[in-house]
Amino acid sequence: MTTYSPKTFKLTLQSLTPIHIGDGGELRHGFDFVIKNGRTWRLDEDAILEAKWDAMGLDRKGRTRYPLPGEVLAESDFKNPTLFRYVLRGTPRSRKADARLKTFIKDHEDRPYIPGSSFKGALRTALAWKGWDEVIRHPIDRRDIGNRRSWAGQRLERKLFGKDPNHDLLRALQVSDLHGDLNPNEALAVVNAQVLTRGSLQSPIELEALLPNRTLTGTITIDEYLFSPQAERELRFGRRKQWLEELMARVQAHSKARLERRLLPWFESISGAEKIANFYRQIYNLKLAPNQALAQIGWGSGWDGKTFWTHLQADEFLFEKLMRDFRLQHRRGRNTPRTRAKDFPVSRRVVVSKGTIAAPFGWVVITLEEK
């Protein structure tokens, strides 16, 4: 009798550019952090309240005072590490009261990590894009697209991966969270992000970001039983087992196609974006082993990094209808021409440093080694 044991791989991720994976939270200037000596000091509110309780009392006229935690700190307090959870390089652009800073996801000890679900989402996108022609062999039409923006791709996803979550191919792919020996003081920094269009930089956003050259590890496990003859009668995965056997090659093919067809040409055409164009040339020509691949994860990956991309844009008229239906573009004036399908998206989120377009977000090299 054949036995089917799970096959487990060590997964190593090395960051090439800043990465932001948010936890949904925001820090507020004065309450959660203060700016001092070119750094951002994350306050330990409980420790400050305990140490500075007297400063929270009555003022000289007997009125109750409610100062922000950051307002009660003296110069000498910045030499007391117990009052701060961590200290980051860089500062937000805005120094206004209640300015916001989006937080990176961390564990209970404030160490940054990458959730397996976030990483698996990037793998899923690459597998869908690469496997499209093997499953969807006919031109799609408007009936293949849902009417709700958040579920627009569900019908196509079911054709690619399975009719429902119980029959989904990626049930067979289990991805752990990725951790490293990462001290937030050294692994994270405050990054200024902006939306780059062909005309300008817009919409500044302040983020905690994982820095380049940081390494995290986890595991990927493939449940071989789900490809057994017994399971096949119910799940109908068929030849799609090959998708997981060729995981790194397929992820790399997706990344190389994005670099060649979209990202490199786009940034080469933008004045002031030479650093990013040069970076993309370098990683496009990077020689990787067969068990390695480039990937872009997290915030700032872009529309083409999270969707079916070229497969939706193949029919120009259909895609332009989708842009109208789901309001994927914003016209600024009556005389502003509509975006053509081949030109979408028209903006990118980038790292901006001292007014210079410095880097893209989210690029990593991933390595799989069978355990």
For position 139, what pLDDT does the model report?
86
pLDDT above 80 for 2: no
1 located within any domain: no
Chain segment 314-324, per-residue pLDDT in tens: 888 888 888 88
Instruction: Specify the residue for token string 């020689």.
Output: 287
Q: What is the DSSP letter of 179?
A: B
Same domain, 72 and 205: no
Does residue 348 surpass a pLDDT of 70?
yes
- For residue 212, being part of any structural domain is answered with yes
Q: Are residues 202 and 77 part of one domain?
A: no
- Look up residue 289 and give its two tokens: 């082993």
**What pLDDT is stored for residue 268 in this prediction?**
97
Q: What is the pLDDT of residues 148-189, one digit of tens each?
A: 877 788 999 999 999 999 999 999 999 999 999 999 999 999
Q: 342: pLDDT confidence band, cut at 50, 70 and 90?
A: confident
Between vectors from CA 153 to CA 142 and to CA 283, what angle results, nearest 5°? 120
Q: Is the pLDDT of residue 61 over 70?
A: no
Phi, psi of 47 (to 5 degrees): -65, -40
**pLDDT at position 62:** 53
Q: What's the burial of 213, exposed, middle or buried (CB within 10 Å: 0-12/13-18/19+)? A: exposed
114-131 pLDDT, tens digit each: 999 999 999 999 999 999
Distance CA(83)–CA(43), nearest Å, equals 6
Give yes or no for a cis peptide into 345 (omega within 30° of 0): yes
Backbone dihedral angles phi then psi of residue 7, each to the nearest 5 degrees: -110, 120
Do 67 and 135 share a structural domain?
Answer: no
Q: For the chain, how many structural domains are there in total?
A: 2
Q: What residue numbers bound the domain in which 40 lies?
A: 33-87
- How much of the chain exceeds pLDDT 70, in percent? 94
- Indicate if 118 and 37 belong to the same structural domain: no
More confident residue, 17 or 146: 17
* Tokens describing residue 63: 């009125």
Domain co-membership, 136 together with 281:
yes
Whether residue 236 sits in one domain with residue 206? yes
Residues 48 and 12 in one domain: no
Whether residues 308 and 364 fall in one domain: yes
Task: Sort 16 into a burial class: Cβ within 10 Å, 0-12 / 13-18 / 19+.
Answer: buried
* Confidence category of residue 249, pLDDT binned at 50, 70, 90: very high
3-state secondary structure of 253: helix
Domain membership flag for residue 195: yes
236 in the same domain as 364: yes
> Are 115 and 77 in the same domain?
no
- Give the pLDDT band (50/70/90) at residue 265: very high
Is 266 inside a domain boundary? yes
Whether residue 162 is found in the same domain as residue 49: no
In a domain, 311, yes or no: yes
Minimum mean pLDDT range among 61-70, 247-256, 304-313: 61-70
Q: What is the pLDDT of residue 137?
A: 79
User: What does the pLDDT read at residue 329?
Assistant: 66
The pLDDT of residue 336 is above 60: no
- Average of per-residue pLDDT values in the chain: 92
Structural domain contains residue 95? no
Q: List the end-to-end C-alpha distance of the chain, in Å, as a whole number.
A: 24
Is the residue at 353 inside a domain? Answer: yes
Query: pTM for the whole thing?
Result: 0.93
Distance between CA atoms of 157 and 136, rounded to whole angstroms?
A: 10
Residue spans of beta strands (DSSP E) within the chain? 7-15, 22-28, 33-36, 39-43, 84-89, 100-104, 173-175, 188-196, 201-210, 215-222, 292-296, 348-353, 356-360, 363-370
Do 83 and 229 belong together in one domain? no
H or E element in which residue 268 lies:
helix 264-268
Mean pLDDT of the 47-57 span? 81
Distance between alpha carbon 257 and the CA centroid of its chain, in Å? 19
* Range name among 241-245, 268-272, 341-345, 355-359 with the lowest pLDDT average: 341-345
